[in-house]
Structure 1
């Protein structure tokens, strides 16, 4: 059994924990990241290989500012972490969700004819438009998370994979994290464990919900690569998000429907009913040119949601300093690099320059 001492420990190296570790290391904080599996594994808050990134959102200028900062950090990573292909919102021109993202000076709005010429995989109906966010893009989840952790290592952070934190306590004004290999003692801790481990039960009011994704073959994959088929949202019924064919064969569809509550990770079963897509696959396929109605891949996973459907970056009310992250409900990859910098501010000063994710909220006891 060994005892290691650092200024800050980050528990959980998903995208939010990895971003926090990188920001802390770049700020000169002595830090270690503890991950129960291998960095970049798909078994936590998942969603297939890719995530959508957009900066045109209807949530207000402070959200846009954080997304611009996240994009700056994403595009600075090497490899296939970020593909700058833009992001789309497609739907009726008078749909409030479409109008909310048609931000002057940030997006362009195309009618059905112009959209079909530019993105031949899409079929827009009369009265619909396609809103292009040119700063949007596609994030490849595994490479992105691994790139963040690699940069954190280069900036001086220590990383311990296959290390499960079994409990958290306090000793002489410091945080103590207990693992099978020994103890990590820190002046502050960041808890970014998602649904995998609840080290401080009841602190964050986050519900776990089941989400299902489906992959459909396409006749001409060249029409559905990222350059010709950016990721996006279709607001017309059935509402769904769509993702390019990164495997050269299938597009990913997330049919937007109520997600059942999962009371614990143990309740979640990855097997999806064979007829899951039967009622909506046909209407969705008619939105695209050459997409099959028969899925070849279906996956189920768990996401954390707050009542307000926005993530929380919470500062614990007990000393020493504990920062908790949760409830980003599929938005984590969009905001993660900027959120990491907010976390580093909270760890170092107890304050934050942004109120978007309730960063000054004292919770727990």
Structure 2
């Protein structure tokens, strides 16, 4: 599509963060154009493991995760399908006493966040989950966590946004964004020019160049999680499994297939793409067979990898640009975005409309990556600068 278009909000990136924001914005009556260089939900949002968990997240992420948990419980009414969401619970295993001590310390740290973690030693673990192999010291169980099918969820959100009136442009790469007196102008590879009052940068692993084009270099690397799915098996895993230290994660779907991860893919010459490695696949399957004996003779029928954006502190970047009024970032979920991004979309819509959100996101501000000012340099101190930014954020919402 070529020509010109004017909307209140333009969103770059059709993953779950961008598409859920588009849906929430339409619910507020705000006009939206959503752009993806490929197909919405085809990148990290649609090829991840599918864990819907709060357990294991740092405390600063838990209010946002709680916000997202409320979205998951009303998924069918929101996007028209349940996305195979199952509140199975999430069990995190400990292989050593040090791992168990880490789980106990985490449970103490997050005791006020409503996770209701249940700690159990090795004997209790084997009694409750007899399909887990010997050698585990214990575990931590979060009954309210679960899992879902990312391929279904990541395509259903943009479809729901389109039904709600959002203009969704797939295979339409945004090749340039400029800020002018009358707002932002976006140029696409299809020669469509778009004017927008506010821009959301939700471009995932491809988001950093858009930030840098506005004088805001933000640290973003890429990771390539690798997954395996087995043939359908008799019912075995009745919980979503993780492990302290990240050696493996696994879940079983209603059809009986087990989805297993814990390794990284091999990046190709074009860093947008990767492929599973044979060594990594064997390592995952050998681990799975050791930890879950019923999988010792299971056939792996499919392998895949995905491309995800990662930050140095493993927290996402969410909030107003520190350089450009009207630009809002949401990317860098570092392999843990599937559960929280539906909540991120609602937060982004509130930032657009109100200039702030009741869900605390200060810890994710892009300002945390700004270089510290020299004490001898003129201008605001770091604390004053942050205060000024917070005040600015509250003025930058969509005009009422």
Moved more, 75-84 or 195-204: 195-204
Moved more, 68-77 or 154-163: 154-163
In structure 1, the partner of 2:31 is 30
Question: 1:8 deviation in Å?
Answer: 0.6
In structure 1, the partner of 2:279 is 275
1:76-107 Cα distance to aligned partner (Å, 9 max, x none)? 11123221111111114652442244355612
Distance 1:322 1:83, change over 3 A: same
Q: Secondary structure at the match of 1:186?
A: strand
Separation in 1, partners of 2:272, 2:11: 26
Question: 1:35 deviation in Å?
Answer: 2.2
1:205 aligns with 2:235: no
Whether contact under 8 Å (2:251, 2:258) holds in the other structure is no
1:223 aligns with 2:226: no
TM-score (norm 1): 0.83
In structure 2, the partner of 1:286 is 290
Distance 1:360 1:49, change over 3 A: closer
Distance 1:357 1:112, change over 3 A: same
Distance 1:75 1:250, change over 3 A: same
1:17-51 Cα distance to aligned partner (Å, 9 max, x none)? 1122122222332222122333332xx22674641
Structure 1: gaps of 5 or more residues: none
Structure 2: gaps of 5 or more residues: 371-400
Which protein has the bigger strand share? Answer: 1
Distance 1:58 1:80, change over 3 A: closer
Q: Secondary structure at the match of 2:364?
A: coil
In structure 2, the partner of 1:361 is 367
Distance 1:51 1:291, change over 3 A: same
Whether contact under 8 Å (1:315, 1:324) holds in the other structure is yes
Whether contact under 8 Å (1:66, 1:335) holds in the other structure is yes
Distance 1:141 1:2, change over 3 A: same
In structure 2, the partner of 1:254 is 262
In structure 1, the partner of 2:181 is 172
In structure 2, the partner of 1:194 is 204
Question: 1:243 deviation in Å?
Answer: 2.3
1:257-311 Cα distance to aligned partner (Å, 9 max, x none)? 7x88x6x982355333323344564344211021137744332322211111111
1:208-231 Cα distance to aligned partner (Å, 9 max, x none)? 12332234557x43113xxx2x22
Distance 1:245 1:265, change over 3 A: farther
1:125-144 matched pairs, under 5 angstroms: 125=135, 128-144=137-153
Separation in 1, partners of 2:258, 2:57: 30
Question: 1:319 deviation in Å?
Answer: 4.3
When the two chains are superposed, the root-mean-square deviation of aligned CA atoms in Å is 3.1
Out of 53, 62, 65, the residue aligned to residue 63 of structure 2 is 65
Whether contact under 8 Å (1:77, 1:148) holds in the other structure is no
Q: Secondary structure at the match of 1:276?
A: helix
Distance 1:136 1:100, change over 3 A: farther
Aligned length: 350
